[in-house]
Amino acid sequence: MSNRILLVNGPNLNLLGTREPAIYGTATLADVERIARDAAQEAGWDLRAVQSNHEGVLIDAIHTAREDCAGIVINAGAYTHTSIAIRDALHGVALPFVEVHISNVHAREDFRHTSYLSDIAACVIVGAGVAGYADAVRHLTRSSA
């Protein structure tokens, strides 16, 4: 088994640090990737990160993960609430994954309360800020050890 995790960030997460800082904070995508990578390295694992605003790119990355990853951490952004294709990709590769949301989506607009991923996720981390990414990585490294 590989000791690698795929970190997937979906649409608009490239704007972290400047997009709605009252909701998402001031940490950047580079900060998020560093936080997740540091958590993986603490456990002796590697981490590969991908961010895209394009659904197909995210699906291709998920498909590739089955070749060399033991799990996935994903913040699918708005695709969480709309993408059956990303759900099918995650289900199809049969890797454990943790769904992460920086904000508490349950305290926001009604449409954000629905996730196409949560019911098949190994764990869901909501509203913990960017620290939730490290928690997600730790969950996967502990459960896969």
Annotated binding site for substrate: 75, 81, 88, 102-103, 112
The one catalytic residue in 79, 101, 116, 139 is 101
Q: Which helix (H) or strand (E) holds 79?
A: none
What span, in angstroms and rounded, lies between the C-alpha atoms of 103 and 94? 27
Annotated binding-site residue numbers: 75, 81, 88, 102-103, 112
Q: Which residues are CB-neighbours of 122 under 8 A, at least 6 positions away?
A: 71, 96, 97, 98, 139, 140, 143
Is residue 101 flagged as an active site residue? yes
Is residue 24 flagged as an active site residue? yes
Q: Which residues are CB-neighbours of 113 under 8 A, at least 6 positions away?
A: 105, 106
Active site residues: 24, 101
